[in-house]
Amino acid sequence: MVEKQETERIGRYQILRKLGRGGMGFVYKALVPVIDKVVAVKVLQPFEAMELLQGYARLKEIFTFEAVTMAGLHHPALVDVWDYDVDGRGRPFFVMEYFCNNLGRMIGEDFQLLKKSRPVRPDKVLAYGRQLLQGLAYLHDREIVHRDIKPFNIMITDDDRVKICDFGMALVRQVSSAPNGSMQIGSPFYAAPEQSREPDAVDGRADLYSAGVLLYRLLTGELPGMRSFALSRVNPLYDAAWDAFFARALALLPAGRFQTASEMLAALTRLHVNLQGGCGQLTAAPAAAAATVPLRSTPENVCGEKARLLFGLNEQFRAQGTGGKKMIEEPDGLLRDAATGLIWQQGGSVYRLCRQEAQGYIDGLNARRHAGRGNWRLPTVNELFSLLSDELRACRANPERPGLWFWSCDSHGARDAWYVNLDMEYADWQDVSCRNFVRAVCSG
């Protein structure tokens, strides 16, 4: 009974679910009392081996150092820390902004780092890259080296913007916040070569190397060590300027790299995507003829491989050949898909909504008989993927706009639901308190 009580609250914060586990402790999704604001709570509870090696006092010092460092930073590309306290078991914890999305989850990266991940549209990579480098410029100006830039440490906000998190390995004014001894500083494949030799002697150029690996990974789905940097030879979207950018960003010696984040940002800003190449070349399979039979319209509660097969997706949970078609515009702002017989809202919700609000939005459409119809509903994952088209896959002039992420009617267990990211053409599940857009559909 005592353990159950402890897992329900940390300090005054009500715990909703465990988000992750690291060597130093856990991160939880939690609620602030009374106002029910969702936050992330990081609590010190180290692995036994780490505690034996470093000592609890030293780990507490490191943990507090991370919280103090993050709380003192104020930049749009950095996660904010709002509170610090000690729970009933004497464990220190700190409270941060909570975000439903992180870049590692979005690209489908896991512990098998050499496995191909989902590529990201180049226009979106440029937008993410600019924000990441602006955040690094701010950190480096304050003599802070992050030392662990990787996709899972990049959160993505509801308005599709970058937030750098996890400063547990940061080097602040040449003072290390990471454990001493033989513990590796940084993540394999992302950490700069010099970081493995002298982790406490690195400067901001180590972060710039990691940023280069991350950007290459986003563009190609691969790590740069798996093939040459010459993107122009394998993809018409890129010219020789991209090759030169990555050759410098990924130089093995710091002196050969961009020397500052501002310099790397300026070089990134000068890069352009060959729009004649078409962003559709990033899709998982060639475009195929549109479906000629009705798509599944009944909600399902499904997980894992069973879900992938039901949705007709590949191993990365991406579309396998939908596209090429165009919708027929109907009166009252509707779109008709002649191939599937579905009628769609032309727009959808103006704002992102949690899953309960999404259903309320649908109920509202039916209550006022939007466009003369009372059979609006949330689409299935299969139906959402039918929205893919050549036009949608083309590079857009405004990559800064919020992403095309939509709730489906399909569930993933008791408190999660499936959504589809049409920008990256994949399906995934999220907590029902997360926020996505709504695009209503009905049968013709």
Q: Which of 201, 205, 211, 186 is nearest to 255 (CA)?
A: 205
How many CA atoms does the CB half-sphere of 49 hold within 13 Å?
5
Torsion (CA) 183, 186, 188, 194 in degrees, nearest 10: -90
If you compute the radius of gyration of the chain from its CA atoms, what whole number of angstroms results? 23
Specify whether 148 is catalytic. yes
> What angle (nearest 5°) sits at the alpha carbon of residue 112, between those of residues 402 and 42?
60
SS3 217: helix
Cβ neighbors of 89 (< 8 A, separation 6 or more) are 6
- As a whole number of angstroms, the distance between CA 373 and CA 444 comes to 10
Cβ neighbors of 234 (< 8 A, separation 6 or more) are none
Helix 204-220 × helix 122-141 angle, to 10°:
170
Q: Label residues 334-360 b or e (16+ Cβ within 10 Å = b).
A: bbebebbebbbbeeebeebbbbebbbe
Instruction: Write down the residue that tokens 């960003």 correspond to.
Output: 249
Helix 204-220 × helix 240-249 angle, to 10°:
140
Using alpha carbons, list the distances in angstroms from residue 178 to 152, 166, 175, 284. 18, 12, 9, 40
Instruction: Write down the residue that tokens 């070349």 correspond to.
Output: 281
Catalytic residue among 148, 410, 416, 431: 148
What's 133-193 look like in SS3?
HHHHHHHHHCCEECCCCCHHHEEECCCCCEEECCCCCCEECCEECCCCCCCCCCCCCCCCH
Q: Work out whether the CA dihedral 231, 159, 361, 429 comes out positive or negative.
A: positive
Active-site amino acid positions: 148
